[in-house]
Structure 1
Amino acid sequence: MKRWVMIVFALILTMVLTACGNTGDETDTETDNDAPTEDDATNEEGAEDPNATAEEEVLVSLQNAEGEVVGTATLTPADTGVNIKLEGENLPPGTKGFHIHEVGKCDPPDFESAGSHYNPTDAKHGFDHSDGPHAGDLENIEVADDGTVTAEVTADKLTLDRESENTLYTEEGTALVIHSDADDYTSQPAGDAGDRIACGVIGQ
């Protein structure tokens, strides 16, 4: 009788141990399936966006000597350089010089605080100069008789990437400036474009 009791007890013990072993295997399998793979961990934590230091869109408000906002520029990365879309109003009609200046400071009424044209490559001014242009030289804009302007130009020597050479995000910042007259693309140092009539800080 005792022998049969021992056999039954042994069978029950064996079944219990087998069941526990299967449960452990299932738990391990579920844990392994739910655990992130090395690739997943790299993508979530280790991967770096190659454009992490670049701005996707920058808005710049331009003010006149009276402190009134007369224009808004939208800066976006282009295939080469920076695309600048300008929309403005209440400006004097005619062809106007349009430049990026080397200091992000726009103190009215003359905006001389913006410094000279942004020129990190030490070039001469003007698209028509053999040793030009400045990186901050832009094409002239045309203000309509009603004082409005819509223009799109490209600064192909510059970038919005904070870590790259010729970035618009220098220690002193940079600024967009509209002048009273047309840039002749040749005269030094600023194309004989006249007074600065509107200015907007790009960034610091």
Structure 2
Amino acid sequence: MKNGLYVFCGIVIAVFVFIRYDFPFLAQASEHKQTSPKLVIPLKNSNGQQAGQAVLTENEKGVNVHINAFGLKPGIHAVHFHEKGVCEPPGFTSSGSRFNPFNKEHGLEKPNGPHAGDMRNIFADTSGTVKTTIVNPRVTLKKGEKNSLRDADGSALIIDENGDDLKSNPVGKSGNRVMCGVIK
């Protein structure tokens, strides 16, 4: 009797895995419905060279940021949205400050924060590659909204050289800006 229960559980798990991974169209019903266009944002490094891309989509949970970047130093990096859609290397200071339409304090761990553009840190593997997805519930891709990344001058996605401590003002000790992508 006990062996039969183990066999039954194993079959149920195998069927779930088979359906979930071999027939993705069946699994889509459980995923969040996309409510906006897909924006493909080329990322460039401080030398102005192509260094990957970010794909932005939006659903009821916020803006999904799918990052696929290379050429970073291995380790933790901060990623933020900045207020201007300009990416002039090498320092990318042309992108302005962090995106903060609601005048909050910097940092996901601050009681009076965070900036709308603050996001969790990302990790580059030993080859300097990042493949990850972040959800930011404080911004939108819908034009005309106060927290829209697609306002008149656009915005930028910035990756910094170090991780963000998630609490220090104004920038969380994250170091220089090393990658940038324009959002329009």
Q: Please, what TM-score do these two structures have when normalized by structure 1?
A: 0.71
Partner of 1:199: 180
Secondary structure class of the residue paired with 1:113: helix
Alpha-carbon offset, residue 55 of structure 1: 4.0
CA offsets per residue over residues 67-93 of structure 1, 9 Å max, x none?
111121000012132110000112111
1:59 is aligned to 2:40: yes
Unaligned runs of 5+ in 1: 1-53
Report the structure number with the largest CA radius of gyration: 1
CA offsets per residue over residues 13-61 of structure 1, 9 Å max, x none?
xxxxxxxxxxxxxxxxxxxxxxxxxxxxxxxxxxxxxxxxx74100101
Partner of 1:6: none
CA offsets per residue over residues 162-182 of structure 1, 9 Å max, x none?
122311111121000000000
Unaligned runs of 5+ in 2: 1-34
1:119 equivalent among 100, 111, 116: 100
Once residues 184 and 89 of structure 1 are traced to their aligned partners in structure 2, the CA distance between those partners, rounded to angstroms, is: 23
- Tell whether the 8 Å contact from 2:144 to 2:151 is kept in structure 1 after alignment: no
Alpha-carbon offset, residue 200 of structure 1: 0.6
Partner of 1:184: 165
Following superposition of structure 1 onto structure 2, how do residues 154-169 of structure 1 map, counting pairs within 5 Å? 154-169=135-150
Residue identity matched to 1:147: G
- Tell whether the 8 Å contact from 1:80 to 1:157 is kept in structure 2 after alignment: no
Secondary structure class of the residue paired with 2:94: helix
Give the share of equivalent positions with the same residue, in percent: 39
Q: Please, what TM-score do these two structures have when normalized by structure 2?
A: 0.79
Moved over 3 A (4+): none
Question: RMSD value over aligned CA atoms?
Answer: 1.1
- Tell whether the 8 Å contact from 2:52 to 2:69 is kept in structure 1 after alignment: yes
Partner of 1:86: 67
Once residues 90 and 146 of structure 2 are traced to their aligned partners in structure 1, the CA distance between those partners, rounded to angstroms, is: 31
CA offsets per residue over residues 107-157 of structure 1, 9 Å max, x none?
000000000000000000001111010000011000001111111101101
- Tell whether the 8 Å contact from 2:110 to 2:167 is kept in structure 1 after alignment: yes
